[in-house]
Structure 1
Amino acid sequence: MTNRILASIFCGILFGIGLVVSDMINPARVLAFLDVAGDWDPSLAFVMGGALIPSSLAYAIKQYRSRPVFDTEFHVPTSRSIDARLVSGAVLFGLGWGLVGLCPGPAIASLVIGRWETVLFAVAMIAGMFAYRKAQSGQSAPLRLN
């Protein structure tokens, strides 16, 4: 196994552990954060704020490096345009998140619990990824997660 794959696995496991420890795999906690008019739970804001620390450090370090440790180049989005595709994707993401209290990372991390709702969400998410790829290519395309 290459160092890049091992680093990806390590980061994914670390992210999953963080989601479990912060209880962000609990849809009720996420939905309580979105319920600003009711019994609001600010814990998700603290998790998001905490995520800004390593992200900011990574962007600062990037400026001093010509390439990442385990890759040949940095993969940072360069487009700054806001178009219909970006807005519609954000709306779909927000609707899904607001309706069920899960987004892709926590959904995958919470699969270890085995709740049927989470399994259904993950299956629907993967089916949506395949449908999107098929619509974009006009033919069946393999799912790539990178």
Structure 2
Amino acid sequence: MIRAITGLLSGIVFGFGLALSGMMNPARVRGFLDLFGQWDPTLAFVMGGAILAMALAWLFQAQTDKPACASQYHLPDTKHIDGRLIGGAALFGIGWGLGGLCPGPGIASLATQFVPALIFVASMLLGMTFFRLWNRG
């Protein structure tokens, strides 16, 4: 039960941060990518804040044996960079640039811009399903 409550509260804080920073607005992301037009640096500040927060989280994780709501940390077991990783990152970036949303802001946007966000989330789920089916073989 405590894990569910912690997850819910974390999601609420994350969604609030997305709304406060304007990252639920696809125009912000496209504005950041418009280097030779009306460039919007907001996303750079959001990314800088996220990098700082993650650096602090890594420092905290290194000093503790286990997280507060689980029996162990679940960290990636590989650091291997291959074509699939690079291709997936490129595909993610292209989709983010074209759509102006990524999964977190897309799901959060269901509360404020339902129809466009629903189209994005449905497309995202369809793509995830297609990958799972394609990746089986």
- Which residue matches 1:99? 98
- Which residue matches 1:68? 67
Consecutive unaligned residues of structure 1, counting only runs of 5 or more, are 139-146
Query: Displacement of 1:13 after TM fit?
Result: 1.1
Aligned CA-pair RMSD: 1.3
Alignment of 1:35-114 (within 5 A): 35-114=34-113
Consecutive unaligned residues of structure 2, counting only runs of 5 or more, are none
Query: Displacement of 1:115 after TM fit?
Result: 4.1
| CA deviation vs aligned residue, 1:43-71 (integer Å, no higher than 9, x gap) | 11001111122211111111111111111
The residue type paired with residue 43 of structure 1 is T
46-55 or 90-99, which deviates more: 46-55
Alignment of 1:18-29 (within 5 A): 18-29=17-28
Q: Does 1:128 align with 2:127?
A: yes
- Which residue matches 1:116? 115
SS of match in other structure, 2:97:
helix
SS of match in other structure, 2:95:
helix
SS of match in other structure, 2:22:
coil
| CA deviation vs aligned residue, 1:58-89 (integer Å, no higher than 9, x gap) | 11111111111111111122322211110111
Superposed structure 1 runs of 4+ greater than 6 Å apart: none
SS of match in other structure, 1:63:
helix
| CA deviation vs aligned residue, 1:74-107 (integer Å, no higher than 9, x gap) | 1122322211110111011011001111100110
% identical aligned pairs: 46
| CA deviation vs aligned residue, 1:95-140 (integer Å, no higher than 9, x gap) | 10011111001101111113422210110001112222233346xx
The residue type paired with residue 76 of structure 2 is P
TM-score, normalised relative to structure 2: 0.93
127-136 or 102-111, which deviates more: 127-136
Residues of 1 paired with 2:90 and 2:129: CA distance? Answer: 19
| CA deviation vs aligned residue, 1:15-58 (integer Å, no higher than 9, x gap) | 01000011100000110001111110001100111112221111
